[in-house]
Structure 1
């Protein structure tokens, strides 16, 4: 009896010490002097109503038909996930992360999400605004005095209204070629230096209209480094990735060229080679998984994700010069169909990567598709949004995508979608 009591006591003691050590490790991982998202409880954002989905079976069946017909029959590679609240409705992984059919893609394999990176860069910037480290109307010259465009502000960078030239085209136009072009890889600082030295004309006058431009977010990454006095890859770990338990997420660096998941040409498939722009971050170069990205999406549904006025600006349209459906917030694209229907999302493309990240505000739905073997069909995942909210245009795109496949032509895919649509409720 004494032996059993002693054993029981030792087990309890060991468990307690292990738990304390584990909690201490977690605290050390989250310890940071930077503003961060560590105050969000990812397990208690949604209630039962948020997770509830009317007609769940028919909707999941429609998603299953989509995945089988578009991803499996189309031989798309990558990760795919659809969630309602914090409940994953559907998830799939296909293909490989390395050449010669090595390293099958699974739920822990980080893939490049290309321009979806902008949503994360934007949120890190806004966390610094919330903390008083930055202001939206701060001119960039306040932080980089030699920057030759005095009207460019933090806001115009975030909202894609700066009018700055696109760096990927700018470097090809400078003659004679600057010394930076002899480097294997260009850096964000190189881009800033080229703007300062050559002072190229603006592509359009600042804050007169929307113009999607990677330069904006490459400069925001430099701004984050300047304000935090921390390299961007580590700043993102401290502000977003570690606090939101995005354990398989990182910013791509030169050392990762050996081990990181590759992207592929559609045919072959052949690995897409790196080029001189592949180390520029902020506009791209977040490597993550669908499950990690779901954590980020879940956090954005939390009431304490950002100060309310900033959170409203993220999903507000800031470019209304031309009437139309498409618009841009702060780090998010949007389609505004009417005053009650707004689809918020971001797509990505770089080399062989195509990606979709939809964050549906009313239905608490997240749609993530990350393809690493080039195919524009990956973007069809956005049309799944029409299964959850009143986006008739997206539903029609979904129907047309399904009709491209043999199974849809014989009725099964279209019938499943029709059942989901017929039973849809606002």
Structure 2
């Protein structure tokens, strides 16, 4: 769940420097005894053949790696952050580091195979599972939610509006709190849907009239996946995304995972307790590693990930009622700068977890940071985007902050004069 968007922008400015899928039948039984039809399969996406040699080529490579390393030491080590960071261009991982512990009880060290909670970075992954179901003909973008969930009280809201954060639905965190729902037990996605059907909470805005970031959208999309696959969402995500992309250390957090999954911590190192919202998925609760998330990024770059008409929809900006830098595509945030460049990314926050997933279309670059000891400084990792593409920054802010930026980063070519 993302916060601190304004804070992230300050950090970005301050730190910037210079398948075609085949299908297979899955024999899972519906309540009426019928086996479900086909589920998408990414088996034709060879992640080793996504990029050309040119995609991995990089000028001034030693200086860029030095800059990333100096950033890591300056922000992550000096700030005592906990988690993992990975920067890759094309097929080459340029930088990868891990530090900290994943669990308080075992002092499990964080390393490349330890899954961490990426919070709202789950949204792009949920979105792509939905897009694969659309590609398979199981779902339509403009399909009303009321056609999927009997009694859904807002007939104008469609799957497309959920994906693009334009439904106008209120945030479940807010309407459940307002209703004083008991916090003694974990709630589920189904509980949220049933609450909406029964109580018809007032819409936050008229559907499809503008962008409003809302976790309810993606909690309901997880139920759409369950409805169409007749599988629990954690199982469906394994079949549609994680297994085909060989994301072996990725899963959807469930109650059974509490004794073994990585934990998150306050900045002082104290464990962050779970609460009644911790089993809601789709909007959050993907646990993954930087390497696994890099595989997902490769699939997004692949020509075989989705049919071209669908893939072309993902990174378009859909909320243009008001001019400005910030916008949203399908499961991705974006910043559209005055020089015509677009930064495509998603951040995440939940409890002590902070996450960054940057997917730079022009330079074929992936930047990932996952922290499990709360610190907004994790979001400054997005600033590494400026090493690969020319994102403008405000001169006065740059000059004011320049003394705080390590020397290796000050001397790179994308610093504006």
TM over 0.5: yes
Residue 401 of structure 1: how far off its partner (Å):
7.0
Equivalent runs, 1:175-186 vs 2, <5 Å? 177=180, 181=182, 183-186=184-187
Q: CA offsets per residue over residues 68-119 of structure 1, 9 Å max, x none?
A: 0100010000010000012100001010011167001000000000000000
Deviation at 1:313, TM superposition (A): 1.2
Give structure 2 stretches of 5+ with no counterpart: 1-23, 27-37
- Could you say which residue in structure 2 is the equivalent of 1:246? 247
- RMSD, aligned CA: 2.0
1:31, CA displacement in angstroms?
7.9
Contact kept in structure 2, 1:386 and 1:394, CA below 8 Å: no
More helix by share: 1
Matched residue, 1:332:
332
Separation in structure 1 between the aligned mates of residue 394 and residue 338 of structure 2, nearest angstrom: 14
Question: In structure 2, how many angstroms separate the alpha carbons of the residues matched to 1:278 and 1:401?
Answer: 38
The Cα shift of 1:396 comes to: 9.1
Find the residue that maps to 1:355 and give its secondary structure. strand
**Hey, what's the Cα distance between the residues in 1 that align with 2:264 and 2:111?**
15
Map of 1:42-61 to 2, 5 A cutoff?
42-61=47-66
Match for residue 126 of structure 1 among 120, 128, 131: 131
Which ranges of 4 or more aligned residues in structure 1 deviate by more than 6 Å?
394-402
Q: Is the 8 A contact 1:384 1:398 kept in 2?
A: no
Per the alignment, in what secondary structure is the counterpart of residue 292 of structure 1?
helix
Task: Please name the residue that 1:281 is paired with.
Answer: 281
Query: Are residues 1:231 and 2:232 paired?
Result: yes
Greater relative contact order (Cα < 8 A, sep 6+): 2
In structure 2, the partner of 1:296 is: 296
Aligned length: 382
3-state SS of 1:190 partner: helix
- Whichever of the two has the greater Rg, that structure is 1
For residue 34 of structure 1, report the CA deviation from its aligned partner.
Answer: 1.3
* Per-residue deviation, residues 248-291 of structure 1 (Å, max 9, x unmatched): 00000001111110000001x11100000000000000000000
Question: Any residues of structure 2 matched to 1:23-34 within 5 Å, and which?
Answer: 32=26, 33-34=38-39
Retained in 1: the 8 A contact 2:315–2:332?
yes
Q: CA deviation at 1:145?
A: 1.9
- Counterpart Cα distance in 2 of 1:185 and 1:34: 30
1:46-87 CA distances to partner (integer Å, 9 max, x unpaired)?
111010001111111110100001000100000100000121
- Kindly provide the CA deviation profile for residues 320-346 of structure 1, in whole angstroms up to 9, marking residues without a partner as x: 011001000000000011474111000
1:411-422 alignment runs, 5 A limit: 413-414=406-407, 416-421=408-413
* Aligned residue in 1 for 2:306: 306
Segments of 5+ residues of structure 1 without an aligned counterpart are 1-29
Answer whether contact 1:354 1:371 (CA < 8 A) is retained. yes
| Structure 1 residue 311: Cα displacement | 1.2
Asked if residue 107 in structure 1 is aligned to residue 112 in structure 2, the reply is yes
With normalisation by structure 2, the TM-score equals 0.88
